[in-house]
Amino acid sequence: MSRSWIASLSAIILFPLSASAGDLRQDAAAVFQPIDPAAVAKQVKNNEITPAKVELGHKLFFDPRLSKSQLISCATCHNLSTGGVDAGPTSVGHAWQKGPRRAPSVLNSVFNGAQFWDGRAEDLKAQAKGPVQAGVEMANTPAAVEATLKSIPGYVGEFQKAFPGDVAPVSFDNMAKAIEAFESTLVTPNSRFDKFLKGDATALNDQEKKGLRLFMDKGCAGCHSGANVGGSGYFPFGVSEKPDEEIRPAADKGRSAVTKSSADDYAFRVAPLRNVALRAPYFHSGKVWTLEEAVTVMAKTQLGETLPAEDTAAIVAFLNTLTGDQPKVDYPVLPARTKDTPHPQY
């Protein structure tokens, strides 16, 4: 077992996050933060967010010509129409290959401590390079992406504007930076939970407040905390009891593939729970289709508890308050291909 999560779990057990008798809003505000669009800029490292970069990233995010088949864009799996994810259980990529894990939502991902279920990318610009090259996803190469972008004058001009100091602005790295800039705008403020956190006591009803209290007192919030109600830290899936094989397939050992330490077997980045009601199915395997079942599984495998039905219902009611304003995004008009643009391969 890795020391970090033992320490964290001990903290949860030894110092419950709040006493039931305390002020719910105050207790919650000590554990969670509202989604704050103004906080985005300081989340992004080594990549100044400029309007030119966001606009370029907007186009690139939706451009299927970044994939080998020219059919699959970032938006295919991170669908902004449906909570920033696809329909699941896991994603389908080049040549209809099935990916191993559920797509994580791009919404609010800028507030995650690291990217991917196993945290193998430190930030969104590192993440953006992964699926473009993954054989089971977009199956492309940096050289082919650069050839495509350089063949399209509209893109060349936009890269020059977005990266004005660069000698060679059209690059795979700058593609990733522009996508990070756009993705950092995809945040969902103004959920009812956020209104409650900011002081509107009527934003949650009694059942939802009970759910929030249970979420903190039972220990869920020991891992699912912060602005994203999760998204940072790594914990094993199956602390108290091993999940069903279907939900936690034996072959996918999670974080340990990154750290090369068996102590991290079956550890995953804590799932961020913002907008969770919009994006079933749940878990990295995408095999659980309702929040009721997901809460039941978590209580059993992580806390060793079988919750009364009304407690599960209350927690689910609380989770439903985490749905924020979905970003309003134009469907971009992309610059047209030219005779020099590589042809799709499928």
Smaller CB separation from its own copies, 5 or 282: 282
What does the binding site for its own copies look like in residue numbers (CB under 8 A)? 62-65, 69-71, 76, 79-83, 86-89, 92, 95-96, 98, 277-278, 280-281, 289-290, 326, 328-334, 336-337, 339, 343-344, 346
Output the CA torsion sign for 94, 100, 107, 186.
negative
DSSP class of residue 5 equals: H
Smaller CB separation from its own copies, 123 or 208: 208
Output the CA torsion sign for 91, 94, 100, 104.
negative
Binding residues for heme c: 74, 77-78, 94, 220, 223-224, 298
Smaller CB separation from its own copies, 143 or 336: 336
d(CA 29, CA 194): 10
Both tokens assigned to 137? 């996803």
Does 189 sit behind a cis peptide bond, omega within 30 degrees of 0 on the bond before it? no
Annotated catalytic residue, options 48, 55, 122, 137: 137
Q: How far is the CB of 281 from its own copies (least distance, A)?
A: 8
Both tokens assigned to 143? 């050289």
Smaller CB separation from its own copies, 216 or 316: 316
Instruction: Check if the beta carbon of residue 68 is closer than 8 Å to that of residue 144.
Output: yes
Q: How far is the CB of 24 from its own copies (least distance, A)?
A: 27
Q: How far is the CB of 137 from its own copies (least distance, A)?
A: 13
Q: How far is the CB of 230 from its own copies (least distance, A)?
A: 19
CB neighbours of 325 closer than 8 A, spacing ≥ 6? 188, 189, 190, 191
Q: Is 196 exposed, middle or buried (0-12, 13-18, 19+ CB in 10 A)?
A: buried
Instruction: Check if the beta carbon of residue 135 is closer than 8 Å to that of residue 67.
Output: no
Binding residues: 74, 77-78, 94, 220, 223-224, 298
Helix axes 153-162, 172-183, angle to 10 degrees: 70
137 is catalytic: yes
Q: How far is the CB of 30 from its own copies (least distance, A)?
A: 30
Instruction: Check if the beta carbon of residue 72 is closer than 8 Å to that of residue 137.
Output: yes
d(CA 186, CA 283): 22
Output the CA torsion sign for 226, 228, 229, 232.
negative
Smaller CB separation from its own copies, 71 or 147: 71
Catalytic positions are 137
